[in-house]
């Protein structure tokens, strides 16, 4: 295979062997873990900062403004400056809040998104943990975030927070069904839940082209449900600032607020990278049938670039949604999920199963 020049599995093995020859196996494992921990921590922070910058810039351009442009060239250091400012802000204690739960909520939200990030395949060989139930694990862990949101709303002892958290709970819980079921539609095609297998089985053709109409419908449902699940875009009534000030994080200040903000953007990144992995082939280059020359050229683009590019396109789509659609009411939101997306999704699963059984796919 041509993309083997970018295969990092051998590099990982080389590092592993080198470390094991220098020190005892226990210390080698600890060193590897420390390296991976630091790398993921940095990645998490950089992606968060970059996405906040990207959102402000894209929002600016959509509204015919320039966005942040003072700190650094094109304002690229704006979010770093914001981060330092938030870090240096006092944490205001709330008298009537439930102190323990109030402090626990940011932990839960960050833990949920960080643990889900562990199972994402970034490129061939860059994959922290390759579960055999990978995609199911990501769904399970990332849905833990809703507990953090409910805790934050309840423990603040604030009416805005409570209303925001309850809305958000109902919304996330409803749309999680559609996220799960549309991913399930894709899993019928793969016959596996392991993310590395899922990516490799799309070597010839990405799922969205391979699965005909059912795959495309599943992708559409996934995009709508994922936007709602991350509390974004037209579905952001959990923090509808015109009616609820800031929803569930009204009472949070300084760096605690920053963590809710960061978690929102990381969830968006996670959701986008799952969409890229399952429907657009993850780090697999674009291959078209028998166009050998074209395929060879595509193979020269490194897999990590493919992966990040696809994720960036999907994130951009979600930002576009946010700044162009008006916000829904809660009854419209729940009607959309329970009366439209869920029945369509159930039928779509059956159609997909039929397509797979009859061999109508590519």
Partner 1 sequence: MNNESLILFFIVAVVLVGGALVFSTFVPPSSTNPQKSETYECGIPTKGLSWLQFNVGYYLFAILFLVFDVETVFVFPWAVVMKDIGMVAFVEIVIFFFILILGLLYAWKKHALIWE
User: What residues between 245 and 274 interact with partner 1 by CB under 8 A?
Assistant: 245, 250-251, 254-256, 258-259
Which residues ranging from 310 to 339 are in contact with partner 1 (CB under 8 A)?
330-331, 334-335, 338-339
Rounded to whole angstroms, the Cα distance separating 286 from 299 reads 8
* Cβ 73 to partner 1 shortest distance, Å: 28
**Beta-carbon-side half-sphere exposure of residue 153 (alpha carbons within 13 Å):** 23
* Cβ 137 to partner 1 shortest distance, Å: 9
Contact between 41 and partner 1 by CB under 8 A: the answer reads: yes
User: Which C-beta is closer to partner 1: that of 33 or that of 305?
Assistant: 33
Contact between 136 and partner 1 by CB under 8 A: the answer reads: yes
DSSP 93: P
Contact between 111 and partner 1 by CB under 8 A: the answer reads: yes
Q: Would you tell me how many other CB atoms lie within 10 Å of the CB of residue 359?
A: 7
Count of residues that interact with partner 1, criterion CB under 8 A = 77
Rounded to whole angstroms, the Cα distance separating 11 from 321 reads 40
* Cβ 187 to partner 1 shortest distance, Å: 4
List 65, 288, 354, 360, residue binding partner 1 (CB under 8 A): 354
DSSP states along 259-307? HHHHHHHHHHHHHHHHHHHHHS-TTPPP--TT-HHHHHHHHTS-HHHHH
User: Which C-beta is closer to partner 1: that of 264 or that of 299?
Assistant: 264
User: Which C-beta is closer to partner 1: that of 28 or that of 318?
Assistant: 28
Please report, for residues 13, 20, 270, 277, 336, the alpha-carbon distance to residue 39 in angstroms, rounded to integers and kept in the order given: 18, 20, 17, 21, 40
Q: What angle do CA 292, 295, 297 make, to 5 degrees?
A: 110
User: Which C-beta is closer to partner 1: that of 174 or that of 285?
Assistant: 174
* Cβ 292 to partner 1 shortest distance, Å: 29
List 15, 20, 31, 40, residue binding partner 1 (CB under 8 A): 40
Contact between 35 and partner 1 by CB under 8 A: the answer reads: no
User: Which C-beta is closer to partner 1: that of 226 or that of 342?
Assistant: 342
Q: Would you tell me how many other CB atoms lie within 10 Å of the CB of residue 113?
A: 24
| Phi/psi of residue 123, nearest 5 degrees | -165, 180
Contact between 18 and partner 1 by CB under 8 A: the answer reads: no
User: Which C-beta is closer to partner 1: that of 136 or that of 316?
Assistant: 136
* Cβ 11 to partner 1 shortest distance, Å: 15
CB 278 within 8 A of CB 185: no
Which residues ranging from 52 to 91 are in contact with partner 1 (CB under 8 A)?
87-91
Q: How many residues does the chain have?
A: 362
Rounded to whole angstroms, the Cα distance separating 308 from 19 reads 29
Residue 123, classed as helix, strand or coil, is strand
Beta-strand (E) ranges in 15-115?
none
User: Which C-beta is closer to partner 1: that of 228 or that of 258?
Assistant: 258
User: Which C-beta is closer to partner 1: that of 68 or that of 148?
Assistant: 148
Rounded to whole angstroms, the Cα distance separating 141 from 98 reads 25
Query: Can you read off the two tokens belonging to residue 25?
Result: 């196996």
User: Which C-beta is closer to partner 1: that of 67 or that of 196?
Assistant: 196
Q: Which residues are bridge partners to 126 per DSSP?
A: 123
Rounded to whole angstroms, the Cα distance separating 234 from 169 reads 16
* Cβ 288 to partner 1 shortest distance, Å: 25
Which residues ranging from 149 to 208 are in contact with partner 1 (CB under 8 A)?
154, 156-162, 166, 169-170, 173-174, 176-177, 180-181, 184, 187-188, 191-193
Q: What binding mask, one character per residue, do residues 274-313 give for partner 1 by CB under 8 A, x or -?
A: ----------------------------------------
């Amino acid at each position: 295979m041509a993309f083997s020049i970018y295969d990092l599995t051998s590099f990982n093995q080389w590092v592993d062997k080198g470390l094991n020859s220098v020190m005892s196996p226990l210390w080698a494992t600890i060193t590897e873990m420390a390296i991976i921990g630091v790398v993921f921590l940095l990645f998490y922070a950089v992606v968060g900062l970059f996405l906040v910058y990207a959102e402000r810039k894209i929002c600016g351009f959509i509204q015919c403004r320039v966005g942040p442009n003072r700190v650094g060239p094109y304002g690229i250091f704006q979010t770093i400056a914001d981060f330092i400012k938030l870090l240096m802000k006092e944490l205001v204690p709330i008298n009537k809040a439930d102190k323990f739960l109030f402090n626990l909520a940011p932990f839960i939200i960050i833990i949920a998104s960080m643990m889900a990030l562990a199972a994402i395949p970034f490129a061939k060989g860059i994959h922290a943990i390759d579960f055999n139930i990978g995609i199911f694990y990501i769904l399970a862990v990332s849905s833990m975030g809703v507990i953090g949101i409910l805790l934050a709303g309840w423990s603040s002892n604030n009416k805005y927070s409570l209303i925001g958290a309850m809305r958000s709970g109902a919304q996330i819980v409803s749309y999680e069904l559609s996220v799960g079921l549309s991913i399930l539609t894709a899993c019928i095609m793969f016959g596996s839940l392991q993310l590395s297998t899922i990516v490799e089985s799309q070597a010839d053709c990405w799922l969205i082209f391979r699965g005909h109409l059912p795959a495309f419908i599943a992708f559409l449902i996934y995009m709508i449900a994922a936007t709602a699940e991350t509390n974004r875009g037209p579905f952001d009534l959990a923090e509808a600032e015109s009616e609820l000030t800031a929803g569930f994080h009204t009472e949070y200040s300084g760096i605690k607020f920053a963590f809710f903000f960061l978690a929102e953007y990381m969830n968006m990144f996670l959701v986008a990278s799952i969409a890229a992995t399952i429907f657009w082939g993850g780090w697999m280059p674009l291959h078209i049938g028998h166009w050998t020359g074209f395929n060879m050229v595509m193979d020269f683009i490194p897999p990590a670039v493919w992966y990040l590019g696809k994720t960036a396109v999907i994130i951009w789509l979600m930002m576009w949604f946010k700044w162009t659609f008006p916000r829904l009411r809660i009854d419209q939101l729940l009607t959309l999920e329970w009366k439209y997306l869920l029945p369509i999704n159930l039928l779509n699963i059956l159609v997909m199963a039929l397509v797979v059984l009859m061999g109508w796919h590519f």
